Amino acid sequence: MRGHVAQKGNKYYIVVDMHDEVTQKRRRKWISGPHGGFDKKRDAERALPDILKSLNNETFVEPTNKTFGEIMETWLQDKKTSVKHGTWKSYEWLVHTHINPNLGTVKGTKLKPQHLHDLYHKTLLPKLAVGSIKKVHVIILDALNRAVIWGLVSQNVAQFVSLPQGKKKKFEVWNEQQLKLFLDEAQKDQYYTAFELAASTGMRQSEILALRRVDVDLPRKMASVRQAYTLAEKGHDFDDTKNDSSVRSIALFANTVELLEKHLEKQERERSRNKLYKDSGLVIQTSAGTPLGPRNLMRHYYRIIDNIQKEVPDFPRIRFHDLRHTHATLLLKAGIHPKIVQERLGHSSINVTLDTYSHVLPNLQEAVLNNIGDSILGKDFESLIDGEKPALLD
């Protein structure tokens, strides 16, 4: 493959003699600079060797005026039809708030690893948690991968960038006494059942609000998670759960079964008395039978905490999602195997559970060692000291 520089008007172009695989004939390809031709002949001559090399290696990308911001905007709009709306809204926020305002004007072909390194380590680290910066990186990786496939850039420069390290943000949970204080106060609220389900099952808020009566088997003491009440383009709507592992069955405590029996009986009475009742078939719904919105539930949740703090000012104000973490933490403290906790929470793997609650597990070692005895040999062998034959040797 050969090439030379030619002038057309007041611009210079690189002309390459190529073999057309379709027509099997020789053809000439005119390549302009990044702005529709080179202003100076020597600039075109300097670019010629690299262009010939990239053409031979099949890594050549036609010069484009697309900015990195335009590449991100196109990716964002295309992503709208392939992910859930709530997920897309989080992408939109990161792109419009943190990516494009900082790097949107950089030409896509001029984007370098240094740009992204500075974005992560200097611009975003003081503002965002490390976990959020990782999400930014994943978004950019995906957008640039697509840009490479579509021939907008020659390589994905994001793959060469290291992410900042930082301490994992720890969530706050209630202990047994604090949870009891909350549930005692929550009994006065019309949505007490929702709060008790969060504490006793570890279900996500979206799963609780989408739980149908047909998915609750009280004789078997089981609740099946089959859908979620999530953010839609207009308001909220029912959708699939977060992932495949989120579809699960959860064993219910006896107290929870008793509460649900009374709750569903009360719901039946409301349906029969109110002719305007629009039954949604849900376990948790408004007094009119319609689905309960997350914001409405949160108003009730924080009102309960406010009432408690009037009497107990230092009562922790944790998030609703932290009831899920409280559930898992109390189970682990009670000696429940992490695999069971994983299944109840609907984590994709036990590694997610172990990683999420890694700060809890070391505290359980003392209790485990106490159960074993004074040595690795266990309590059976301790009986040898007293002249007894351990059961293992029978």
Residue 393 is predicted with a pLDDT of 47
Say which residues have a Cβ less than 8 Å from residue 210's Cβ, sequence separation at least 6.
226, 227, 228, 229, 238, 282
- Topology annotation, domain 176-321: hpI Integrase; Chain A (1.10.443)
Averaging pLDDT over each range in 248-252, 271-275, 358-362, 365-369, which range is the top one? 248-252
Average pLDDT over residues 153-169: 84
In angstroms, the CA 325 to CA 148 distance is 41
Residue 34 is predicted with a pLDDT of 57
Higher confidence at residue 46 or residue 383?
46
Average pLDDT over residues 160-167: 86
Higher confidence at residue 44 or residue 187?
187
Q: How many CB atoms lie within 10 A of CB 24?
A: 7
The pLDDT tens digits of the residues spanning 230-239 come to 755 555 566 6
Average pLDDT over residues 182-189: 97
The pLDDT tens digits of the residues spanning 317-333 come to 999 999 999 999 999 98
The pLDDT tens digits of the residues spanning 199-211 come to 999 999 999 999 9
Residue with tokens 């029978």: 394
- Residue 53's DSSP bridge partners are none
Average pLDDT over residues 155-177: 87
Higher confidence at residue 313 or residue 235?
313
Rounded percentage of the chain residues whose pLDDT exceeds 70: 80
Amino acid residing at 316: P
Q: 310 pLDDT exceeds 50? A: yes
Q: For residue 315, what are its two tokens?
A: 């009562």
Alpha carbon separation from 330 to 49, 94, 157, 249, 369 (Å, rounded): 66, 34, 44, 20, 19
Residue 42 is predicted with a pLDDT of 85
CA atoms within 13 A on the CB side of 245: 12
Average pLDDT over residues 232-260: 78
Average pLDDT over residues 86-99: 91
Residue 150 is predicted with a pLDDT of 77
Alpha carbon separation from 36 to 50, 99, 134, 339 (Å, rounded): 18, 27, 37, 61
Average pLDDT over residues 164-174: 81
Residue 64 is predicted with a pLDDT of 64
Average pLDDT over residues 166-186: 89
Cα end-to-end distance, the chain, whole Å: 85
- Residue 31's DSSP bridge partners are 14
Q: 91 pLDDT exceeds 50? A: yes
Among 24-28, 198-202, 222-226, 363-367, where is mean pLDDT lowest? 363-367
Residue 154 is predicted with a pLDDT of 74
Among 103-112, 150-159, 278-287, 326-335, where is mean pLDDT lowest? 150-159
Residue 394 is predicted with a pLDDT of 47
Amino acid residing at 226: R
Residue 1 is predicted with a pLDDT of 66
Say which residues have a Cβ less than 8 Å from residue 391's Cβ, sequence separation at least 6.
380
Residue 369 is predicted with a pLDDT of 64
Q: How many CB atoms lie within 10 A of CB 41?
A: 13
What is the band of 50 on the pLDDT scale with cuts at 50, 70, 90? confident
Among 101-105, 256-260, 280-284, 359-363, where is mean pLDDT lowest? 359-363
Q: For residue 38, what are its two tokens?
A: 């080179």
Determine the CATH number of domain 68-160: 1.10.150.130
Residue 27 is predicted with a pLDDT of 72
Higher confidence at residue 88 or residue 242?
88
The ranges assigned to domains in the chain are 2-56, 68-160, 176-321
- Three-state DSSP state, 231: strand
Average pLDDT over residues 50-70: 73
